[in-house]
């Protein structure tokens, strides 16, 4: 009997609920027929019992509906976020181009001012390679004999002296930097006119050796090319004095220069299509063979 009741428990519960529903419907109909708004005690009881059940059953549906709405809203936010990221990236790229244009315009203005000071034609070029050897400091530029570039021609920027062309090919050339230990340039202090030799040290500094004891050389002085030696025109910046070693016991006094050119950021250079009389005689009747890249070891410029 107990097993029978357990088996019939659910059907009996359903029948009971169905019966109560029918009674409630009949009671509602009678109330409506009689014109009463009140549903009676049985209808009220059923309403009180079924309202929390319906609320509990409807909660998952409402939760799922709200979650779906938030998910759709998040998809819209994600799409909008991606669009904003793309817009920010485009604006940053545009800003970078504007800044590069401003830098380039400033550089071109300085180059124009520099070219006005020297009545020498110049050939622009780009640095396309750098010597990685610790013993030599040179760069490769994308201009050669086809553009009128030959060995012995100075290479400069708007900041000052870069070096000297030492070997050429039809469409490329090698420049020995003033930083190289084989480089030596006749220089003069712009303020006091003290004269000496600017030598490369194989580092990021230059040495300025001046001969006359008591020459006025001070920290902050600018050293330029003197024009003597027939290698570089007069007036090109070489560097700024950062240290002075004036020892009375030494015949030659020395100062340390910071180069005017920032060789760590060297990009665009200009080859001066001019060769001094000394180097013109040196190269007369000879080709620009690549093996002459070591010219500075035998004929130091300016010495």
Q: Supply the mean pLDDT for the chain.
A: 76
Whether residues 102 and 46 fall in one domain: yes
Residue 102 Cα to chain centre, angstroms: 15
Whether residues 31 and 86 fall in one domain: yes
Mean pLDDT, range 168-181, rounded to an integer: 94
Q: Is residue 138 part of a domain?
A: no
Tens digit of pLDDT for each residue in 185-213?
999 999 988 999 999 998 999 999 986 66
Mean pLDDT, range 256-277, rounded to an integer: 91
- Does the global pTM surpass 0.75? no
Which residue would you say has higher pLDDT here, 294 or 110? 110
pLDDT at 144 over 80: yes
- The domain tally of the chain equals 2
Tens digit of pLDDT for each residue in 43-84?
566 556 655 655 665 667 666 666 666 666 666 777 777 778
Give whichever of 21-30, 45-54, 59-68, 234-243 has the largest mean pLDDT: 234-243
The model's confidence at residue 27, banded by pLDDT at 50, 70 and 90, is: low
Whether residues 112 and 176 fall in one domain: no
Whether residues 210 and 111 fall in one domain: no
pLDDT at 276: 80
Which residue would you say has higher pLDDT here, 68 or 148? 148
Whether residues 79 and 195 fall in one domain: no
Q: Is residue 178 part of a domain?
A: yes
CB of 156 closer than 8 Å to CB of 162: yes
Q: Is residue 68 part of a domain?
A: yes
Q: Is residue 283 part of a domain?
A: yes
Instruction: State which residues form the domain around 62.
Output: 12-117
Q: Is residue 150 part of a domain?
A: no
The model's confidence at residue 262, banded by pLDDT at 50, 70 and 90, is: very high
């Amino acid at each position: 009997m107990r097993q029978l009741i357990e088996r019939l428990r659910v059907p009996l519960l359903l029948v009971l609920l169905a019966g109560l529903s029918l009674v409630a419907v009949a009671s509602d109909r009678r109330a409506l027929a009689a014109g009463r708004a009140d549903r009676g005690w049985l209808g009220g009881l059923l309403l009180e019992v079924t309202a929390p059940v319906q609320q509990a059953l409807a909660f998952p549906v409402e939760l799922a509906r709200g979650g779906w709405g938030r998910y759709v809203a998040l998809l819209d936010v994600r799409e909008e976020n991606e669009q904003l990221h793309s817009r920010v990236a485009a604006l940053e790229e545009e800003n970078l181009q504007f800044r590069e244009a401003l830098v380039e315009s400033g550089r071109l203005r300085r180059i124009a001012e520099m070219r006005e000071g020297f009545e020498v034609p110049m050939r622009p070029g780009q640095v396309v390679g750098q010597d990685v050897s610790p013993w030599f400091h040179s760069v490769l530029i994308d201009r050669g004999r086809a553009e009128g570039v030959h060995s012995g021609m100075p290479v400069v920027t708007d900041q000052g002296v870069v070096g000297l062309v030492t070997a050429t090919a039809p469409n490329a050339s090698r420049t020995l930097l003033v930083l190289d230990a084989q480089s030596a340039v006749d220089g003069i202090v712009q303020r006091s006119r003290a004269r000496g030799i600017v030598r490369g040290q194989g580092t990021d500094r230059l040495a300025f050796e001046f001969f006359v004891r008591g020459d006025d050389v001070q920290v902050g002085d600018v050293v330029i090319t003197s024009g003597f030696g027939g290698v570089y025109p007069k007036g090109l910046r070489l560097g700024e004095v950062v240290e002075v070693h004036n020892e009375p016991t030494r015949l030659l006094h020395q100062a340390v220069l910071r180069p005017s050119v920032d060789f760590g950021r060297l990009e665009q250079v200009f080859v001066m299509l001019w060769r001094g009389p000394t180097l013109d005689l040196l190269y007369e009747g000879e080709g620009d063979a690549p093996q002459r890249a070591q010219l500075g070891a035998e004929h130091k410029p300016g010495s």
